[in-house]
A and B are shown apart, each in its own frame.
Chain A
Amino acid sequence: MDLLKVENLSKSFGALWAVNNVSFTVGEGEIVGLIGPNGSGKSTVFQLITGLLRANRGTISYDGKDITGFKPYQISRSGIARTFQIVRPFPEMTTLKNVMVGRAFGSSSARSMKETEDEARRLLDLTGLTDKVSATAGHLGLIYRKKLELARALATKPKLLLLDEVMAGLNPTEMMETVEFLKTVRNSGVTMIVVEHVIKALFSMTDRVVVLNAGEKIAEGIPQEISRNEEVIKVYLGDYEHA
C-alpha cells in the first residue's frame, strides 16, 4: 500500500519553478532515494510535504488522507518527521531536552515526563549521544548535531521519515554506521525518503530512486536502473562518479 502519494506537485519562487509537476509514491516500508543536482528541488519537496511551504499546485496524500494544506504541526502529528539539510536542533536546550520535545509531542506522546525522559535517554544511547545528554545543543559539533536531529525526529515515533543529507560531512566509517543504523530503523517499520548526494551509500539501502532535475522528475526506478540511465548520468551522476 502507498503510504505517501505526491501528485503533480508544483512550487514556484517568483519566476523559478523549484518543483515542477512532480508525482511519485512511497510504499509502506520502503526506502526511497530522492536525488538530483544542486538546486533541483529536493529540499523544496520536503518543505512541501511537511507543510512549511504551500504548493502552487498538486496534492499530497498520506496514509489515504489528503494532507495538502494541513498545518506543519498537524502533519508531524500524523506521523511524518524530518531532518533539515542545514541542521536545526533547539540550540539553547540540552541534548536530552531536544529529544524529549520530540517524545512529548510528535505522533504519539509519552504518558508522563518521567517516561518522556527515559525514552529520550534510550534514543540518545541508540544514536551514540550518551555522553552528550546534558550538553547544550548549540555547542555540539556538526556530527553530533546531525545525530541529535535524527534522534529528535525518531522520538516523534514517525511512520514516514524524511532525511535531507544526513550523511554529508561524515567520514566513510561514520557513513557505513549511519547506513546500518537506518536499515535497523527501517526494519522497525519506518518508511523513509532519503535525499543524499553520496550515491554509493544511498544506493546500498534504497529500494527505489526518484531523480529530479531543475524541478522536474526525470527518472524513477531501482538503483541498478538509475545508475545506467543515460539522462541521469548526463545531468547528475557523471559529476558524482567520485563521490
Chain B
Amino acid sequence: MAERKKGFVVAAVVVIALALVPLVVAREYVFSILCMIFLYVTLSQSWNILGGYTGQINVGQAAFFGIGALAARLLWVAGVPFYLSILAGGLSSVILAIIIGLPALKLRGHYFAIGTLAVASIAQITVGNILPGISFLPAQHMATYSLIPRYYVFLIIMVTALAAVYITVNSRIGLGMEATRDDEEAAQMVGVNTFKYKMIAFLISSFFAGLAGGGFAYFNASYYWYLPFTLMWCFEPILIVFIGGVGSFIGPIIGSVCYVLLKELFALTLGEANLLIFGIVFILTILFFPKGIIGLPAKLRQLFRRRGNVVGR
C-alpha cells in the first residue's frame, strides 16, 4: 500500500496549497475559477458515488443541488447563520432522496433514472412558477461580500465530500455498492442487501449535492431562484464524470478541472456553441473511451500491445 500512502501525501500537499492560495493570489478571476472547480468536483463526485460506484443513474441531480441552494438561501437571508443554513440545505436534499429512493430504488432497471429526471423537471417548473423573480442579497450581506470566505466554503465542502466518498468506496460498504452495480442478483447471492447499499449511496450523494447547492447560494450575490434547478445541473455532473472516468475516484476531479477550464475558454471564444461541443465530446467519450481520461493510458497500452503482438499470437 505504498501507493496509497503516496496518494495521501499528494492530496495533503494539494489541499494545503489550495488553502494558502488566498494569501498569495489577489485576482478575483482566479478565485472564481477555483470556486467553480471545487463546486463541480463536489457535484460530480457526489454523482459518481451513486452512478459510478453503485450503478444508479441519477438524471435529476439539479433537484438535489437546487433544493440545497433554495433552503440554504432562504434561511441565510432570513438571518440564520450561514453554516446552519448550508447544513439545512444538505439535509433537505437528503430528505428528498429518502422520498424518491424508498420507492424507486426498490425496483431494478430504469425506474430510478426516469423518476429522478421527472422530479428535476417538476422541481424546475414549480420553483420557476412560485419564485419567478431574482433573489437579491440583503444590503448588510452585500456590504460585506467577499470572495475569500466563499472560496473556503467551497474548498471545505469539496474536501469533505472527497474524504467521505474515498472512505466509503474503500470500505465494506464500497464492496457492497460495486457488487450492486455489477449484478444485483449475484450480489444478493453473496449476502449483499442491495437496496440498502443503493440507499446509502443515494443519501451520501444527495447530501453533498445539497451542500454544493448551499455553496452556490452563498457564492452568488443575486440570481434567479430557479437557476440552481435548471437541467444543466443534471447534465454537467454526468458529462464530467464520463469525461474524467466513471466509477473511479480521480476521474471526476480531473473531469471537473478540464470541464471548467475548457468551458471558460469556449465561452470566451464560442459563446453558446460551447454546449454543443461538450455534447459531442460526451458522445465520443462514451463510444470510444468508456473509461474516460483515467482509462486513456490503459487504452493506449492496449492498442499498442495489440499491434505489437500480431505475430506472437
Contact = CB atoms under 8 A, between A and B. Distances in A.
Contacts of B189: 50, 52, 72, 76, 81-82, 84, 153
B182 interface: yes
A81 B186 CA distance: 10
B113 to A, nearest CB: 19
B101 interface: no
Nearest to A82: B189
B171 A88 contact: no
B176 interface: yes
Contacts of A107: 191
Interface in B180-203: 181-183, 185-194
Task: Bin the interface of chain B by size.
Answer: 20 to 34
Interface stretch (A57-65, A89-97, A170-178): A89-97
Interface string B160-182: 00000000001110011011011
A155 interface: yes
B191 A156 contact: yes
B247 interface: yes
A211 B46 CA distance: 52
B190 A89 contact: no
A91 B185 contact: no
Contacts of B178: 90, 92-93, 97, 101
Contact of A76 (B170, B183, B188): B188
Nearest to A83: B189
Which of B178, B187, B188, B193 has the most CB atoms of chain A within a 10 A radius of its CB? B188
A106 B193 CA distance: 10
B188 A72 contact: yes
A150 B190 CA distance: 11
Interface string B132-170: 000000000000000000000000000000000000001
A185 interface: no
Nearest to B193: A73
- Give the secondary structure class of B's interface: helix
B172 A109 contact: yes
A109 B178 CA distance: 17
B188 A101 contact: no
A71 B179 CA distance: 17
Interface string A106-126: 110100010010000000000
Contacts of A167: none
Contacts of A93: 178-179, 182
B261 to A, nearest CB: 29
Contacts of A163: none
Contacts of B179: 90, 93, 101
Contacts of B183: 88, 90-91
Contacts of A72: 185, 188-189
Contacts of B181: 92
Given A52-B185, A88-B183, A93-B182, A153 B190 contact: yes
B89 to A, nearest CB: 33
Contact of B186 (A89, A100, A106): A89
Given A91-B183, A109-B172, A152 B247 contact: no
Contacts of B188: 51-52, 71-73, 76
A156 B187 CA distance: 11
Contacts of A91: 182-183
16 contacts: A50-B189, A52-B189, A72-B188, A76-B188, A82-B189, A97-B175, A101-B175, A101-B187, A105-B172, A105-B176, A105-B190, A106-B191, A113-B171, A113-B172, A116-B172, A116-B175
Given A72-B188, A113-B171, 20 more contacts: A50-B189, A52-B189, A73-B188, A73-B192, A76-B189, A81-B190, A84-B186, A88-B183, A89-B186, A90-B178, A97-B178, A101-B176, A101-B179, A104-B175, A105-B176, A113-B170, A116-B172, A116-B175, A153-B189, A156-B191
Interface of B: 170-172, 175-176, 178-179, 181-183, 185-194, 247
The 6 closest A-B pairs by CB, nearest first: A105-B191, A90-B182, A72-B188, A76-B191, A88-B186, A106-B191
